[in-house]
Structures are given as C-alpha cells and as structure tokens.
Amino acid sequence: MRWGAGSISGDMTRTAVLALLARRGPLSRAQIAEMLELSPATITQGTRRLLAEGLLVEEAPRPSAGGGGRPSVPLSLVPGSAHTIGIQVAHEHVTGVTSRLDATVVHSFRHAFDPASPDAVETLTALIRSEIEEIERRGLPLAGVGVAVPGIVEPETGTLSMSVRLGWTGLPLAARLREALGVPVFVDNDISAVTAAERLYGPGADEADFLLAAIGQGIGLGMVLDGAPYRGAAGAAGEFGHMPVQPDGPQCVCGNRGCLESLVSTEALLRTAHEAGILPAESDLDDLGTAARHGDPAAVQLLHNAATLLGRALAGVVNLLGPRSVIIIGEITAIWDLLDDPLHEALLDHLLPAVRDTRIEVRPWHDEVIAASAARVVLAAPLAAPRQRG
C-alpha cells in the first residue's frame, strides 16, 4: 500500500493501522509494517498509543513461521472501543449511521429534510444530537461525527463554500455543528468521503491510483493519485459532471449548457425519457431499465447514447490521469447492465493503448453508502481533512 509522498504523519499512521486492522486484522506489527510499507519502528510507536487508548489489544503469541524466530503477537481492534456517527445530507433527506471502530454499522436512520428551510442547520443539529444521546444512553464511547454534503467543502475548515443542490453557500458547517454538539465534527464533500473510505477500507485500499465516479442525480469524481486523495487548490477538484460535452446542450444546474451531468445524470435520463414520451411522468429509473430490458428501442437508444457520452468523457479523464481502475458508484448502477457494453465500446474507441487495461469496477450501491463512508471519514480525518479538528 503506497501512501502519497509526505502524507504519512503520526495521525496518518494511526488511521492507516486502524483501517488495515478493520479490513485484515488480526496482524502482527511486522505484518502491519510490511503491508503499509512503513518502518517497524514507526508501527511499534504508532500501535503503542493505540494499545494505551484501548483501541487495540494484543492476542496470544503465535509461533513464528518456520519455528526459528521470536513468536509473533497479533494485534486486533477492540470493535466497541470507539463509535462514530456518519451523516449524509442530501436535498430531500438526511441519512445517518452509527458505526463501530471495525466499520460495522450498528444503527441507521433516514429522515425527510428540507435544506431550503430557514432552520435547516438546527434541524440537522437536532437529528445528530438525538443520535449522540442514544449512543450516550447506551454508554458507548463516541469518537466523532462525520458529515458528507454535496458541494465544495474547504478540506481544512469544513466550511461549505458552495452547494448548488442544497442551496447553501459560505456555511461554516463543521464549526457550527461542533459548537452546538460539543463533539469532534468533520465535514467533507460526499464523493471525497466515499473516496477516502474506499482508500482506507474498501477493495481499493491496495490501489494507489484510482478514480471513483459517482453517478446519480449529480455526477462527481473522487481521485486518489500516487496514494493520496487529490482535492485541487480549493477543494473543488472532481467536478466531472460539469465537463462540457455538448455545445448548446441542455442547461445544467450550474448555469452552463451541455455539461455531462445535464445529459447523463439519472435526473437527465428521466427528463429526456419523459420529454421523448418513452416513459409516463412520475416513472423512475427502474421503469426506464425495465423498458430497455423489454426491448423498447427508444429506451435502448437513450441509454446507448448516454453510455457512449459517459464512456467518451471517462476516456478523456483516464487518458489524462492514468489510473489503474475506475470505480463506479451511485444510483446509475441499478441499470449498469444496460450501459456496460456501449460504455466499453466508447472507452475502447478513445483510450490510448497505455491505459487500455484500466479496470472499470461497479460497486454495489445502497442508500447508506455515503453515510457509512462519512462515519469512516471521522477515523480517516487526517487523510480527508488534515486540520479539521475539534
């Protein structure tokens, strides 16, 4: 596992060790050092603190392989020693989970939410507070709260500079929640949270160069390059949805015309299907998938065109950044079987030979993915948000 040059600080080692043990534990110090490509001294020092805090325990020594050397002592997580709350704020609902240190979700909730309401932040605060009270009532230790929002977040402060979807601008969300709740709160962009969680806990953890394309009502891109998340100078990198792909195309939520998102987001697909009379109003993505699977030529053509556009745009990004893999998440995965072939055709047409082996991996999607990632981001805070500490 490579970590970006200079990104390994004391905190980062801690995060990496906790995530590795959650995925692969129990492991000896030597195994941890080898897998994280860090020195044994760094791991000995890092794990000493985690043992002292009660987050890790030493298991019974095991004879060394071959029987000659010293027996090795496996370390494992104490799953209940820390809990985190993860929250996804979306434009119609708030989803939350409580997660243990080993990343197991032990409780989840979902509430309708109106970000345009004048007391939206107070409502959000109250929802989180009741989850904190539930954790306290059960006597569980709380490490912090991670909040994922659709929009541009300053990684260092947790201030939401702009969210078109929520209609919020210049909102110091992390500071406000921290003050109201009195616990550590980390706020991050939703796709960045999923990307950081994938880097630490997901199958992508062993991958130093990957992209994560989230395709649903909006389209975003998380990037891990040379082991470290890439956020851009102002935390605004990854606005893949606003890549211009069609001159004079439909108007996009950002105000420009012909953005990728205005053509191939799930919202755009449904709008096009309704306008073209392929589906009656009120129908959803499942209905579009059903129509195409039943051979409706207009539905098949609509999805073929969307997949081709998406594949072409993705080819441009892969040619530019050269990742090993592209992970696809989001609501669109429900109809991925209908997009996969035309997308791969478009990729083959446009990928340069050197990156033609880039893997496309589709991850299972469910409503709690972003909230669960936000819960992991609390532990991953040094990775996701270097100085957002409360």
Instruction: List interacting residues with Zn ion (CB under 5 A).
Output: 242, 252, 254, 256, 259
**Residue 254 Cβ, how far from Zn ion at the closest point, in Å?**
3
The CB-of-96 to Zn ion minimum distance in angstroms stands at 29
Nearest approach in angstroms of CB 251 to Zn ion is: 9
Instruction: Determine the Cα–Cα distance for residues 380 and 143; give it in Å rounded to an integer.
Output: 12
98 close to 106: Cβ distance less than 8 angstroms: yes
Closest CB to Zn ion among residues 172, 250: 250
Report which secondary-structure segment, H or E, holds 338: helix 336-350
Closer Cβ to Zn ion, 223 or 259, answer by number: 259
Q: Rounded to an integer, what distance in angstroms lies between the CA atom of residue 42 and that of residue 39?
A: 5
Nearer to Zn ion, 4 or 316 (CB): 316
Minimum distance, C-beta of residue 341 to Zn ion, in the bound complex (Å): 27
Q: Compare residues 258 and 390 and give the one whose CB is closer to Zn ion.
A: 258
CB of residue 370 to Zn ion, shortest distance in Å: 21
Cα 256 to chain centroid distance, Å, stands at 26
Interior angle at CA 162, CA 156 and CA 164, nearest 5: 145
Helices 297-321 and 285-293 cross at an angle (nearest 10°) of 110
H/E run at residue 64: none
Q: Are 360 and 326 contacting, i.e. CB atoms less than 8 angstroms apart?
A: yes
Nearest of 243, 240, 241, 235 to residue 192 by alpha carbon: 235
Residues 6+ apart with CB under 8 A from 179: none
Q: Contacts for 160-164 with beta carbons within 8 Å, 24 or more apart?
A: 160/187, 161/234, 161/235, 161/236, 164/253, 164/254
Q: In this complex, which beta carbon is closest to Zn ion, that of residue 36 or of residue 152? A: 152
DSSP string, 197-235: HHHHHSGGGG-SSEEEEEESSSEEEEEEETTEE---TTS
Q: How far is the CB of 46 from Zn ion (least distance, A)?
A: 43
Q: Report, in Å, the least distance between residue 305 CB and Zn ion.
A: 18
Q: For the residues of 34-63, what is the DSSP string, one character each?
A: HHHT--HHHHHHHHHHHHHTTSEEE---BP
Q: How far is CA 323 from the centre of its chain?
A: 17
Cα dihedral value 373, 115, 222, 9, nearest 10: -60
Which residue, 180 or 243, is less far from Zn ion as judged by CB? 243
Q: In this complex, which beta carbon is closest to Zn ion, that of residue 259 or of residue 383? A: 259
Residue (188 or 239) nearer to Zn ion, CB: 239
Our CB check for Zn ion shows the closer of 225 and 254 to be 254
Minimum CB separation from Zn ion for residue 263, in Å? Answer: 10
- Distance in Å, CB of 290 to Zn ion, minimum: 29
Angstrom distance (rounded) from CA 22 to CA 76: 8
